[in-house]
């Protein structure tokens, strides 16, 4: 009993210091790990060096990342004289040395240094180990760069380091990015099928391009062939010859699988028959009898049976071989449950993607309609009130854009320059419109053909004047910084801030026009002259003055539209040509002289053009042609437009 107590005492009190020492012993440093595994480090291979690299990565030593990075970049070496490891860099007399903790250690001649040059396989293992350090780097930019690098070329080796770096991530945005990337890697590389399916299901309704890029490799299919009696795998998708693939494609699969000989071509058949003519016969068949494809095939089969020619399949044999086999596809993903989850996810994405593409197309159409509405609203006023076909309307848009450009030459603050340019463009084009009406248009009322020719001539003159002043080079009209970029809803739906600004401007002009026409004396007089100029004149309204102001107002609005359009389009002397045709179509289709008709016409033209471009994206010229044909047909059935004007325009 006494001896037992003494033994227990000795164990408790003498063994305790050793136990405490074992528990508090520091982990190996990176330098110690290198020294301990010297032979493996000096002669590494991908099969043997993995545990050493893993030990360095998990050592907790801050120098481990430096050592691994230097090793991958051929900056790690061994000094021959004493076998010590150093970090090296080129020096005039050999190599500059640093110890593994970063201290300067002088230089050494090249003859005393053995550079460690890992092969590509070892460098790949080191790069994977470095990911752990990069994902936990104190610099957020370095962590984000590491995530970008992993997303660009993901591998299964990235999964564990990424998971280990999530919980300690202090930046909320980067943490969310890590979590998303971890789920993307999980659905591709995790060995647990349930975890992969859970990761796929967690992306329900997600439209990210990175998700589709992760799912698509799982559903890559390979074509296989088997005899009709063979039971196909559970995930096999049978293909029908003649519908899903051609007979030639099916037979090529048989040849590739060594289930059938190569196809006999007509050229090879001819050469074989000619080479085996004996006494006017081929394999016992007279030459005169070889006048049909079936006879020639039979002769070749006889030669084939005799071993005279190599085995090859005739057309009839090809058909028979294909009929005796079944063709099917299987997914590259061997786990059927994971493949099924990926298929369901992609179908859900495709449905939502179609809806989002429709929404994006609708935003594009609305944006284009806003541009056409701004370009056409001035034309709607002049054409509706005065019945003047103004072919120079596009040049007023061009003058407005150039006014904005000139303002920015003097005012470098882009926000202030746009604020100044909008009213100034209105003033410039208002004066130009009034001058044009007083000097030309007033003398040509009720002579539409001559008005068209005169305004067309003015259009050419204004273009040449712009070329003389500003040259033929496109001039920049720069938008303010707060209009840069786009409002992005997801990876599919977005709209630029400039387009939003133009939409708001078009809405403001709609409200302004409604106020002007319904709440002001000028609007009352314009409506009176529009409906019945003779009666308006008898009531004391001067139609000549109203025509002048109306033409000036329409021209001024065109100038403001020019500033807005110039923010995203090239400002050249031909700027107006790009919008004059659409402006006239908008006015005519909507209903001459009616602001609501102009709005409806702009929506129809914008939506129609975007819809046709979506159906035929490779040929925008054809899209414009189809649109014009549609407009011509539309006018045949509704010549007065969507919303017909009552009054003078209706009677003309």
More confident residue, 60 or 444: 444
Identify whether the C-beta of residue 561 lies closer than 8 Å to the C-beta of residue 446. no
Compute the distance between CA of residue 538 and CA of residue 526 in angstroms, rounded to an integer.
Answer: 14
Report which secondary-structure segment, H or E, holds 405.
helix 393-410
Q: What pLDDT band is residue 23 in, cutting at 50, 70 and 90?
A: very low
Compute the distance between CA of residue 111 and CA of residue 557 in angstroms, rounded to an integer.
Answer: 82
Q: In degrees rounded to 5, what are phi and psi of residue 641? A: 90, 180
Identify whether the C-beta of residue 396 lies closer than 8 Å to the C-beta of residue 553. no
181-207 per-position pLDDT tens digit: 999 999 988 989 899 999 999 888 787
Residue found under tokens 């939409």: 503
Q: In degrees rounded to 5, what are phi and psi of residue 475? A: -105, 145
Identify whether the C-beta of residue 373 lies closer than 8 Å to the C-beta of residue 602. yes
Neighbours of 111 (CB within 10 A): 7
Task: Check residue 392 and give its pLDDT.
Answer: 87
- Three state DSSP letters for 259-312: CCCCECCHHHHHHHHHHCEECCEECCEEHHHCCCHHHHHHHHHHHHHCCCCCCC
Compute the distance between CA of residue 558 and CA of residue 318 in angstroms, rounded to an integer.
Answer: 71
CA distances from 460 to 391, 404, 563 (A): 10, 21, 21
**In angstroms, how far is CA 262 from the centroid of its own chain?**
43
150-168 per-position pLDDT tens digit: 888 788 878 888 888 888 8
Q: What is the mean pLDDT of residues 337-361?
A: 85
Q: What angle do CA 332, 337, 343 make, to 5 degrees?
A: 65
Q: What is the mean pLDDT of residues 420-448?
A: 89
Percent of all residues in the chain with a pLDDT value above 90, rounded to a whole number = 8
Q: What pLDDT band is residue 619 in, cutting at 50, 70 and 90?
A: low
Residue ranges matching CATH 1.10.3470 in the chain? 354-651
Does the pLDDT value for residue 37 go beyond 50? yes
Residue found under tokens 């490799």: 217
Task: Check residue 533 and give its pLDDT.
Answer: 77
Q: In degrees rounded to 5, what are phi and psi of residue 106? A: 80, -150
Does the pLDDT value for residue 427 go beyond 90? yes
Does the pLDDT value for residue 327 go beyond 60? yes
Compute the distance between CA of residue 199 and CA of residue 193 in angstroms, rounded to an integer.
Answer: 10
Q: What pLDDT band is residue 55 in, cutting at 50, 70 and 90?
A: confident
Joined tokens for residue 441:
């248009």
Does the pLDDT value for residue 24 go beyond 60? no
CA quadruple 90, 92, 97, 98: dihedral positive or negative?
negative
Joined tokens for residue 115:
């550079």
Compute the distance between CA of residue 6 and CA of residue 149 in angstroms, rounded to an integer.
Answer: 63
**457 CB-side CA count, 13 A:** 8
Q: What pLDDT band is residue 27 in, cutting at 50, 70 and 90?
A: low
Mean pLDDT (the chain, rounded): 82
CA distances from 534 to 212, 318, 473, 517, 531 (A): 68, 88, 49, 20, 9
More confident residue, 14 or 220: 220
Highest mean pLDDT among 380-394, 488-502, 637-651: 488-502
Task: Check residue 534 and give its pLDDT.
Answer: 81
Q: What pLDDT band is residue 617 in, cutting at 50, 70 and 90?
A: low
Task: Check residue 618 and give its pLDDT.
Answer: 62
Compute the distance between CA of residue 258 and CA of residue 282 in angstroms, rounded to an integer.
Answer: 29
Q: What pLDDT band is residue 28 in, cutting at 50, 70 and 90?
A: confident
Q: In degrees rounded to 5, what are phi and psi of residue 496? A: -70, 150
CATH 1.10.3470 for domain 354-651, yes or no, is yes
More confident residue, 647 or 533: 533
Compute the distance between CA of residue 561 and CA of residue 400 in angstroms, rounded to an integer.
Answer: 7
Report which secondary-structure segment, H or E, holds 106.
strand 104-108
- Nearest by Cα to 555 from 457, 423, 432: 432
Does the pLDDT value for residue 407 go beyond 90? yes
Identify whether the C-beta of residue 391 lies closer than 8 Å to the C-beta of residue 455. yes
Q: What pLDDT band is residue 115 in, cutting at 50, 70 and 90?
A: confident
- Nearest by Cα to 479 from 422, 419, 418: 418
75-102 per-position pLDDT tens digit: 888 888 888 888 888 888 888 888 888 7
- Nearest by Cα to 406 from 470, 479, 474: 470
Q: Give the range among 273-277, 468-472, 576-580, 648-652 with minimum mean pLDDT.
A: 648-652
Q: What is the mean pLDDT of residues 428-444?
A: 89
**427 CB-side CA count, 13 A:** 7
Q: What is the DSSP string of 46-98?
A: TTTSHHHHHHHHTS--THHHHHHHHHHTT-EEEETTT--EEEEEEETTEEEEE
């Amino acid at each position: 009993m006494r001896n037992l107590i003494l033994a227990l005492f000795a164990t408790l009190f003498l063994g305790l210091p050793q136990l405490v020492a074992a528990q508090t012993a520091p982990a190996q440093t990176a330098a110690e790990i290198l020294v301990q595994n010297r032979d493996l480090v000096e002669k590494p291979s991908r099969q043997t060096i993995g545990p050493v690299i893993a030990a360095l990565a998990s050592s907790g030593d801050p120098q481990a990342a430096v050592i691994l990075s230097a090793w991958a970049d051929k900056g790690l070496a061994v000094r021959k004289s004493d076998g010590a490891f150093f970090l090296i860099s080129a020096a005039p007399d050999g190599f500059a040395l640093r110890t593994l903790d970063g201290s300067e250690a002088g230089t050494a001649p090249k003859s005393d240094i053995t550079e460690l040059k890992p092969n590509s396989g070892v460098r790949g293992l080191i790069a994977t180990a470095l990911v752990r350090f990069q994902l936990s780097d104190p610099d957020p930019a370095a962590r984000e760069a590491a995530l970008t690098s992993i997303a660009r070329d993901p591998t299964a080796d990235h999964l564990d380091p990424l998971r280990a770096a999530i919980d300690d991530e202090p930046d909320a945005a980067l943490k969310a990015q890590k979590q998303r990337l971890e789920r993307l890697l999980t659905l591709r590389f995790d060995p647990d099928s349930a975890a992969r399916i859970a990761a796929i299901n967690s992306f329900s309704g997600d439209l990210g391009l990175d998700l589709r890029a992760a799912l698509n490799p799982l559903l890559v299919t390979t074509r296989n062939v088997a005899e009709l009696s063979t039971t196909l795998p559970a995930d096999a998708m049978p293909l029908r010859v003649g519908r899903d693939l051609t007979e030639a494609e099916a037979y090529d699969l048989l040849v590739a699988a060594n289930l059938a000989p190569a196809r006999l071509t007509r050229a090879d058949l001819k050469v074989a028959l000619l080479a085996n003519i004996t006494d006017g016969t081929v394999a016992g068949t007279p030459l005169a009898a070889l006048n049909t494809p079936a006879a020639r095939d039979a002769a070749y089969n006889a030669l084939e049976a005799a071993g005279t020619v190599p085995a090859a399949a005739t057309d009839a044999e090809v058909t028979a071989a294909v009929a005796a086999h079944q063709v099917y596809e299987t997914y590259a993903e061997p786990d059927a449950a994971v493949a099924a989850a990926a298929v369901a996810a992609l179908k859900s994405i495709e449905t939502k993607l179609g809806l989002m593409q429709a929404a994006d197309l609708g935003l594009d159409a609305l944006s284009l309609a806003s541009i056409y509405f701004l370009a056409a609203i001035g034309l709607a006023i002049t054409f509706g009130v005065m019945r003047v076909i103004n072919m120079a309307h596009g040049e007023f848009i061009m003058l407005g854009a150039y006014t904005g450009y000139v303002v920015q030459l003097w005012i470098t603050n882009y926000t202030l320059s746009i604020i100044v340019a909008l009213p100034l463009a209105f003033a410039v084009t208002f004066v130009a419109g009034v001058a044009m009406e007083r000097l030309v248009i007033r003398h040509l009322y009720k002579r539409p053909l001559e008005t068209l020719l005169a305004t067309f001539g003015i259009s050419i003159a204004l273009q040449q004047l712009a070329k003389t002043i500003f040259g033929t080079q496109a001039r920049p009209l720069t938008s303010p910084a707060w209009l840069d970029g786009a409002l992005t809803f997801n990876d599919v739906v977005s709209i630029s801030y400039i387009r939003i600004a133009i939409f708001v401007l078009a809405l403001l002009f709609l409200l302004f026009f409604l106020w002007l026409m319904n709440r002001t004396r000028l609007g009352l007089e314009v409506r009176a002259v529009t409906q019945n100029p003779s009666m308006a004149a008898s009531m004391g309204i001067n139609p000549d003055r109203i025509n002048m102001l109306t033409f000036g107002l329409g021209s001024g609005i065109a100038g403001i539209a020019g500033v807005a359009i110039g923010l995203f389009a090239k400002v050249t002397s031909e700027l107006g040509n790009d919008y004059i045709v659409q402006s006239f179509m908008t006015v005519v289709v909507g209903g001459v002289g009616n602001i609501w008709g102009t709005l409806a016409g702009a929506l129809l033209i914008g939506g129609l053009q975007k819809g046709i471009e979506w159906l035929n994206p490779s040929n925008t010229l054809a899209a414009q042609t189809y649109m014009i044909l549609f407009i011509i047909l539309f006018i045949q059935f509704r010549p007065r437009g969507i919303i017909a004007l009552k009054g003078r325009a209706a009677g003309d």
